[in-house]
Amino acid sequence: MLEIKNLHATVDGAEILKGIDLTINAGEVHAIMGPNGSGKSTLSYLLSGREGYEMTEGSVLFKGKELLELEPEERAGEGLFLAFQYPVEIPGVPNTTFLKEAVNAVRKYRGESELDAMEFVKQLRAKTKELGVNPDFLKRAVNAGFSGGEKKRNEMLQMAMLEPSLCLLDETDSGLDIDALKAVAEGVNAMRGPERAMLVITHYQRLLTYIVPDKVHVLSKGRIVRSGGPELAQELEEKGYTESVEAA
Ligand code: ADP
Ligand code: MG
Ligand code: MG
């Protein structure tokens, strides 16, 4: 699903990522953790196509295609979903309208017909219930006045409606309360499946007690210095990054 090979990348000309190798197969949930300044955000911004972030060596293949050469709508169409730390507010656009347009844009890219209005509502209701989203939020403008936890739940609803094959979640740094963490974890867990891969980039060990990943990688100074199973997240929690990285 995702194959990162010898990835080197610069931010405004400074090399931050120094040779990352990472393969994620369908059905797997991987977590990338690491101390502040290790390059977690750089990786997620690079994969999301943010300006100023440049791959200087290596490759990032998503379903065999060079991800960084795809336009944003092509990435979504191919089944990539990007979740960010701060979901945007879109004043004046009802949530339902936004979701319907996003779903139909992806369907159009795939050569599928627009989702019938009844079918869309049916799916939306089911997923709203499954993810614990307050149905009242569907009528409100996207994220307008939502709390942190509500925004995250809404983002997980977007993710569920789009049925992506690769979900990239960046939950780095501060600002997520326990509600928001749980919303993310429930969303991710509800969407785990044999056809789908997920990459969760996080500063929080705590998130990984709710989302038990298949593999955990530790990023340090732009390189993956350790990889292991879910027990590695536990070790990091107990020993901290310094000792765990030195043990590598
Ligand atoms: P993390 O998300 O793991 O905390 P970041 O990806 O934000 O780490 O940062 C990795 C490194 O890149 C840090 O040393 C940071 O100072 C550096 N960095 C971030 N942005 C820039 C920039 N615009 N120019 C130069 N260095 C940067
Ligand atoms: Mg940071
Ligand atoms: Mg960061």
- Closest ligand 1 atom to 45 CA: 6
Say how many Å lie between the CA of residue 36 and the centre of ligand 2. Answer: 4
Name the closest ligand to CA 45.
Answer: 1
pLDDT at 145: 85
CB atoms within 10 A of CB 224: 21
CA of 41 to the centre of ligand 1 (A): 7
**Complex-level ipTM beyond the 0.90 threshold:** yes
pLDDT at 236: 87
44 CA closest ligand 1 atom index: 6
9, 54 Cβ separation under 8 angstroms: yes
Q: What's residue 86's pLDDT?
A: 63
Dist CA 29 CA 244 (whole Å): 21
Closest CA to 222 of 1, 14, 12, 2: 14
- pLDDT score at 207: 86
**pLDDT by residue for the chain (248 residues), tens digit each?**
999 999 999 999 999 999 999 999 999 999 999 988 999 999 999 998 888 999 999 999 999 999 999 988 889 899 999 887 667 788 889 999 999 999 999 999 999 999 999 999 999 999 999 888 889 989 898 888 888 888 888 889 999 999 999 999 987 655 678 888 888 899 999 999 999 999 999 877 888 888 999 999 999 999 999 999 999 998 888 888 888 777 66
Ligand nearest to the CA of 38: 1
pLDDT at 174: 59
Parallel, antiparallel, or unpaired for β 223-228 and 215-220? antiparallel
Q: Would you state the pLDDT for residue 148?
A: 82
Please state, in angstroms and as integers, the Cα–Cα distance from residue 248 to each residue in 8, 17, 147, 236, following that order. 21, 19, 40, 12
Domains of the chain (ranges, CATH numbers): 2-246 (3.40.50.300)
For ligand 2, the distance from its centroid to the CA atom of residue 237, given in whole angstroms, is: 18
For ligand 1, the distance from its centroid to the CA atom of residue 16, given in whole angstroms, is 7
Vertex 100, ends 99 and 101: CA angle to 5°?
90
10 alpha carbon to ligand 3 midpoint, in Å?
15
Predicted pLDDT at 192: 95
Residues contacting ligand 1 via CB (< 6 Å)? 11-12, 14, 16, 34, 36-42, 172
Q: Closest-lying ligand to the alpha carbon of 43?
A: 1
DSSP H helices, the chain, are 40-48, 72-78, 95-109, 117-130, 148-162, 178-191, 207-210, 231-246
CB 164 within 8 A of CB 80: yes
With CA atoms as reference, report the closest residue to 224 among 196, 204, 244, 197: 244
Q: Which residue has the tokens 């120094």?
A: 18
* Per-residue confidence (pLDDT) for residue 25, from 0 to 100: 98
